[in-house]
Amino acid sequence: MSSQRIKTPCVGLCSTVYGDLVCRGCKRFHHEVVNWNLYSDEEKRAVWKRLEVLLVQVMMAKLEVFDAQRLRSQLEQRQVRFVPDQSPYCWAYQLIARGSRLIQNLDAYGLALLPEFRGWPLPDLRDAIDREFFLLSEAHYERYIAPHFLRDGMDLRV
């Protein structure tokens, strides 16, 4: 695995430059993308934690990590970048996001799809996970962040 520490949730598919309030790539909010380098370590950890909680929620509804050590070993062997301190469900997302077209047998990675998803091609599952993760991030923004901006008189289109 690359010894480089992952310093940002950015995945290089930023949609906030096109006016999205929630990035379709990394799922951070517009103001988090813009201000990331100004954030303290504590603020960055809070963003990482929110993203982790939402992603784990989505992943646990689709698959089971039955062997986290095997998953970690496979990620390291295949040089797939992941955040070691995050949940193995986030690791599973990184694996599926990076290797959905190559993986033949999820069992070899310590993963098992839940029964309702066993017939799904992995690229389709990856897309469904990504959509659901985005929708949860967007809902979180609408519920907890947008009212704050409106109350404080900030322009959401910044």
What DSSP element (H or E) covers 111?
A: strand 111-113
Distance, in Å, from the CA atom of 67 to the CA atom of 39, rounded to the nearest integer, reads 35
Which pLDDT does position 22 carry in this prediction?
A: 92
| Average per-residue pLDDT for the chain | 90
- Residue 10 — very low, low, confident or very high, per pLDDT cuts 50/70/90? confident
Q: What is the pLDDT of residues 73-105, one digit of tens each?
A: 999 999 999 999 999 999 999 999 999 999 999
- Domain positions in the chain are 51-151
Q: Residue written as tokens 């990331």?
A: 36
Is 156 strand, coil or helix?
Answer: coil
Q: What are phi and psi of 153, to 5 degrees?
A: 75, 20
Q: What is the pLDDT of residues 42-56, one digit of tens each?
A: 999 999 999 999 999
| Residue 103 CB contacts under 8 Å (≥ 6 apart), including other chains | 95, 96, 109, 122
Q: What is the pLDDT of residues 125-146, one digit of tens each?
A: 999 999 999 999 999 999 988 8
Which pLDDT does position 60 carry in this prediction?
A: 98
